[in-house]
Amino acid sequence: MNKESALYAVIEKEYPEVDYGKGMYIYDKQGKRYLDCAAGIGVVNIGHGVKDVIDKMTRQAEKISFVYGGTFTSDVRRRLAAKIVSIAPKGMDKVFFCSGGSEAMESLMKIARQYQLEAGRPKKNKIISRWQSYHGNTMGTLALGGRPSWREKYEDFFPKNISQIAPCNCYRCPYGLEEESCSCQCAQELERKIKYEGPDTVAAFVMEPITGTTAAAITPPQKYMKKIREICDKYDVLFCVDEVITGFGRTGKNFAVDHYQITPDLIGFAKGLGSGYVPIGGVIVHKKIVDAIAAGTGALTHSFTFSGNPLACAGAEAVLDYIMDHGLIEQSRKMGEIFLEKLQPLKKYPVVGDIRGIGLLLGVEFVKNSKTKEPLDFNFSTEISQYCFQHGIMITGGVTGSADGILGDALQIAPPFIISEEEINQVAAMLEQAIEETMRKHQL
């Protein structure tokens, strides 16, 4: 048994001990250097050890680190909210802050429910999400998510008014159709589901615009997102997006929904805004929702102890300023295009089924046979990521369930926005080595 007092996710695993990080690299206590092509886990968008962010956080901590948001506001909280609104889709004009992605999505669900109550639609108490999605690890967000292996231990505790529909996955269309000729049946399924549940009972539809943890960068076509927006409008259902991983430049735009020229009603965010310097998340709220609550009870029935605390807001403001001042969203777009191109030679391997993504959120899906798309029956991507880690490159493997929620195996590639073309070449070359070695090991 591990003798440490700290409880880790894998209890008996021996974790290397980190020493420090700088730029694209993490260094452990043994002096080994790792190229962080995972940004931690889609978090450290600006890279490690940025002095400007550290200095601004230090100044704020010296001034005041915490006040309860139910008693005081702060100039830094106001500024950060205004800067987020300035880059959000038009009409989204208020920001609620919390401490991370799971809290953000819990908050989003509660705001959606309160809006329907304040709007005079009390029966609207159901939420629809999608299979092969991930929205967090609290009880509510696990119920919202669609990864069976993570849900199964806790389903007895889940609320019964959250249900799922099939995702949009053109590589593995749940209807067996081709993107060019389909009538967007995966979007039409939302309308059928709303009718089945009862249009007067559905409060919100929640989705990741581009999938992260469960399916590695599946990117829907324009027509899907536009159809979803139309269906939500038709039935007074709030269209809510989880941009915890995609927000603040990960996909090469401010938010992933910007690729589709649509405005959602609620946006959940976290990860990249704090970039690992502070734990922070939140919800960007459309004006119509704020107006309904203001005209009704006049109070948001929701808060957390650390909502909008000055130190977290100072760190996040410094990160956002750094992203904007250094053109890192455009850098994410540019380097993402280069990375996607450099990954294309991997298609020569029969185990590589799909290479996809946008900006610096990319995925490589592994299969038994690239022609039939039959899923592998073991976790190939975990072995790839372990091989890379042993050779000093960090990539997120073990992204399982992309085929049917259980089978399906992919790597997620989500480096800091500061990655160079030379570093991209290193990662692409290492992936070739890792794939060849793992194929030899399993005689594939």
Q: What is the pLDDT of residue 31?
A: 96
CB 24 within 8 A of CB 360: no
Answer for the pair 130, 112: CB distance below 8 angstroms, yes or no.
Answer: no
Q: Select from 325, 360, 377 the last residue of a domain.
A: 325
User: CB-based contacts of 20: which residues, under 8 Å, 6+ apart?
Assistant: 26, 27, 48, 49
The beta strand positions in 253-351, using DSSP E, are: 266-269, 281-286
Total tally of structural domains belonging to the chain: 2
Q: How far is CA 256 from the centre of its chain?
A: 10
In a domain, 394, yes or no: yes
- In whole angstroms, what is the distance from residue 89 CA to residue 362 CA? 24
Report angle CA 105, 108, 109 to the nearest 5 degrees: 95
Q: Which of 96, 105, 87 is nearest to 206 (CA)?
A: 105
> Can you give the CATH number for the domain in which 34 is found?
3.90.1150.10
Q: Are residues 293 and 378 in the same domain?
A: no
Predicted confidence at residue 367, as pLDDT, reads 96
Residue 234, class by beta-carbon neighbours within 10 Å (0-12 exposed, 13-18 middle, 19+ buried)? exposed
Q: What is the pLDDT of residue 181?
A: 82
- Residue 2 in domain: no
Say if 343 falls within a structural domain. yes
> Which amino acid makes up residue 6?
A
> Tens digit of pLDDT for each residue in 289-338?
999 999 999 999 999 999 999 999 999 999 999 999 999 999 999 999 99
Q: Is residue 255 part of a domain?
A: yes
- Using DSSP, state whether 213 is helix, strand or coil: coil
Interval 142-190: pLDDT, tens: 999 998 888 999 999 999 999 999 999 999 988 888 888 888 999 999 9
Grouped pLDDT means (10 residues each) for the chain, 444 residues: 86 94 98 97 98 98 96 98 99 98 98 98 98 95 92 92 95 87 91 98 98 91 97 98 99 98 98 98 99 97 96 99 99 99 98 97 95 91 97 91 84 98 99 98 94
**Is residue 249 domain-shared with residue 349, that is, in the same domain?**
no
Residues 40 and 153 in one domain: no
Token pair listed for 215: 């399916």
Range of the domain at 414: 18-49+327-442
Alpha-carbon gap, residue 437 to 444, rounded angstroms:
10
pLDDT at residue 1 in the model: 65
Residues 429 and 345 in one domain: yes
Residue ending a domain, choose from 289, 307, 325: 325
The residues, any chain, with a CB within 8 Å of residue 298's CB and separated by 6 or more, are none
Q: Which residues of 5-41 are buried (b: 16+ CB within 10 A; e: fewer)?
A: eeeeeeeeeeeeeeeebebbbbeeeeeeebbbbbbbe
| Residue 287 and residue 332 in one domain | no
Strands (E), 117-227: 126-130, 162-165, 202-207
Q: What integer pLDDT is reported at residue 148 of this predicted model?
A: 87
